[in-house]
Amino acid sequence: MRLLLISFTLFFFAVACQVKTPVQEDGSLTLRMVAQDTSGVLSVVPQLGYAPVAYTDVVLQSTKYYADNGKLKEYYTQTDSAGFFEFENLSAAEYLLTLFKDTTFIDPANGKVVDVTIGSNESIILDRPNFLGATKTRLLPKSPLVINEIYYAGPINNAHYFYDQYVELYNSADTAVYLDGKIVCRARQARPVNIDEVDYVQVIYVYQFPGVPVTGRSYPLEPETFTVIAMDAVDHSAYIAGAADLSGVDWEFYNPYAGDLDNPAGNVSNVIPENSTDFMINVVHNAIILADGSKYIYGEISPTGYQYIHIPIETILDGVEYSANPEKQKELTYRVDAGFAGVGIGKYTGKSTQRRLPGYDTNNSSLDFIVLNHPTPGYQR
Ligand SMILES: [Ca+2]
Ligand SMILES: [Ca+2]
Ligand SMILES: [Ca+2]
């Protein structure tokens, strides 16, 4: 009966509004899943036989279809008491499923209450009318220090000027974090490595803050504070009208093997002598990694001469992949970033991409990042 009613309604709609084109993302497929916690943080319910992730928001994002606002289409729901959730009227396509929950956990070792986040982040290929499955949540490594903004597109200009690029970091904790020895890297994928199976990310730049990794306490970033690392910490508007003035930022990328400018800002320095370029990133698609700096390993050399470095995933604090085109092949594993920041940003448009809220991080940049009409070095709005 319900089907008949829907058919009739659709028929009526089609007749009544012939000028309207059907919305491309409407379909007839159903996704039914259960969220089960495998982190040990949530308790197993004996009647169910698993630990349900109950009453938690779930976001399903199309990797292909756009909503009216020009953003990738998103669907929202919530899990029930047993962790079940469903989405209806979907088209056959690939989706990103993201689910996360902030909760507390009593550490059995000392009885202390610890704030933790559990979540899952996965790609779903919806290819049948009734998709049934389970998504398993795990403990999400939550770093208070994240990449908050990446400005890479360059200012509006016809001279291919993009040297006002920068990476902005943010400390969302209520205590200081220490930048000592941390590394900022430009990822680059040497195929045919299976990025979702290996325990490292391939990069071609490794730039390091001064100080001793992990234990150093010389370079604090105060609570709820931004810091900016410029490619070169100068006033770029002196060269191109409208380019960013980065003369006052805290840090700049400095390559001692490249005859790079050494301005008064502190240096985040290249540690790979084989790399003779400044921290230049692609103006449409790249990925940036922030890691604790405790380990980086020399890897393969590409046929074109790039020395690849492997960054162990367990040392990665944050990773963000950006791409103007969201259908590009991923360069970063889903375990680090399931989506793309910067979707729709053309080169030399003066636009930037930043987290929705300072530090907002679900490990899916498609959800976490928005597009800004202009860069915001050292601030959010
Ligand atoms: Ca530089
Ligand atoms: Ca300097
Ligand atoms: Ca900013």
- Residue 114 is predicted with a pLDDT of 75
Across 339-360, average pLDDT:
95
Handedness of CA 288, 361, 355, 34 (dihedral sign): positive
DSSP state of 341: B
For ligand 3, the distance from its centroid to the CA atom of residue 224, given in whole angstroms, is: 13
For ligand 1, the distance from its centroid to the CA atom of residue 274, given in whole angstroms, is: 16
For ligand 2, the distance from its centroid to the CA atom of residue 265, given in whole angstroms, is: 4
**Where in the chain is CATH 2.60.40.10?**
15-139
Whole-number percent of the chain with pLDDT over 90: 67
Q: Could you report the per-residue pLDDT of 253-309, keeping only the tens digit for each?
A: 999 999 899 999 999 999 999 999 999 999 999 999 999 999 999 999 988 888 999
Between these two residues, 167 and 358, which has the higher pLDDT value? 167
* Dist CA 266 CA 284 (whole Å): 27
For ligand 2, the distance from its centroid to the CA atom of residue 333, given in whole angstroms, is: 33
For ligand 2, the distance from its centroid to the CA atom of residue 253, given in whole angstroms, is: 8
Ligand number, closest to the Cα atom of 255: 1
* Dist CA 57 CA 173 (whole Å): 23
CATH (one of 2.60.40.10, 3.40.50.2300, 3.90.1300.10, 3.40.190.10) for 15-139 = 2.60.40.10
For ligand 3, the distance from its centroid to the CA atom of residue 159, given in whole angstroms, is: 25
Instruction: Name the residue with tokens 């979540």.
Output: 119
Q: Residue 308: which residues within 8 A CB-CB, separation 6 or more?
A: 188, 190, 202, 203, 204, 298, 299, 300, 301, 302
For ligand 2, the distance from its centroid to the CA atom of residue 29, given in whole angstroms, is: 56
For ligand 2, the distance from its centroid to the CA atom of residue 18, given in whole angstroms, is: 63
pLDDT at 171 over 60: yes
- Kindly report the pTM of this predicted structure: 0.75
For ligand 2, the distance from its centroid to the CA atom of residue 157, given in whole angstroms, is: 26
pLDDT category of residue 106 using cuts at 50, 70 and 90 = confident
Ligand number, closest to the Cα atom of 261: 1
Helix H or strand E segment including 16: helix 2-16
Residue 319: C-alpha distances to residues 149, 195, 231, 291 (Å): 11, 14, 18, 8
- Residue 71 is predicted with a pLDDT of 77
Ligand number, closest to the Cα atom of 170: 3
